[in-house]
Amino acid sequence: SMAINIQNHYAVAVVTLAAPESLNALTIPDLVELRDSLRQLQDDEQVRCIVMTGEGAKSFCTGVNLRDTMPPEGLFVKNNFLGSAADAGRDGYTRLVDLSDLEIWKPMIAAINGYCLGGGLELAMQCDLRIASETASFGLPEDKVASVPAAGGVQQLLRAIPAAHAMKLALTGDRIDAASALRMGLVSDVTPAEDLLSEALSVAERIAANGPLAVQAVKRLALETSHLAPREYIAQSNLHWGLLRDSADRIEGRRAFAEKRAANFEGR
């Protein structure tokens, strides 16, 4: 399938969700392809930052496209003990939207160009930064159809924005526009539609210019230690600082600073 397109801009990989006929709702094969692609990008030493966006101006992603899913076979509890790939073919598609098992430590930026709803918002919230077009809109509409966000959407929203806004969105299923998302802190920037990708690439390139091992360590600290008590997360921060201290990049960073020049990091 060609629903997941990848283009490299130097050290930045742009992952485009390209299923415009379904407003970029992703089928099970699309989600499997997205997961495989992200895993390959994590292991590609040339790639230092990932931008995820949707094809066309209308939609970033509207979640999972269920056109090919049959009514579930077998017990949910039995399938739940299967690996996520095996479960996906048996109605466990929601587990494919959770990217945490992929261990993507390279920063991911969501460039959001339209509808960002349900599972699409869950994907965007798993990105480290979100930049929106003026045409973007956001929502978790699951309870409007008597369901709940299955890939951590409620909890992600509570971590991303103040609880009053998060709970209002999650309980009403309401959609908000880009200006509201910016005011709440759900996105860091709002741009005119035509500037969205260039703005996302600009931020990605600034990230890609930094020490790549350090950038991944920052993400790992953010994701793996934020729930710890201060004493424990400070210990983890110091451990990662020590891991990086003797790297060639760290030495290059010091030299570049002393010589008042841009550093040339190699990820070693």
The single residue of 122, 134, 194, 205 carrying the catalytic annotation is 122
Is 199 an active-site residue? no
Let me know: does 126 contact 156? Beta carbons within 8 Å: yes
Give every CB contact of residue 266 below 8 A, 6+ residues apart in sequence.
248, 249, 252
- Measured CA angle at 78 (ends 74, 81), to 5 deg: 140
| Dihedral of the alpha carbons of 16, 11, 190, 57, in degrees to the nearest 10 | -20
Is 21 an active-site residue? no
Q: What is the DSSP secondary structure assignment for residue 141, as one 8-state letter?
A: G
Let me know: does 28 contact 96? Beta carbons within 8 Å: yes
Site of tokens 């600009």: 202
List beta partners, residue 116. Answer: 61, 138
C-alpha 17, offset from chain centre: 13
Let me know: does 60 contact 119? Beta carbons within 8 Å: no
Length of the chain: 268
Q: Which three-class secondary structure state does DSSP give residue 188?
A: coil
The single residue of 45, 142, 205, 266 carrying the catalytic annotation is 142
Q: Which amino acids are annotated catalytic?
A: 122, 142
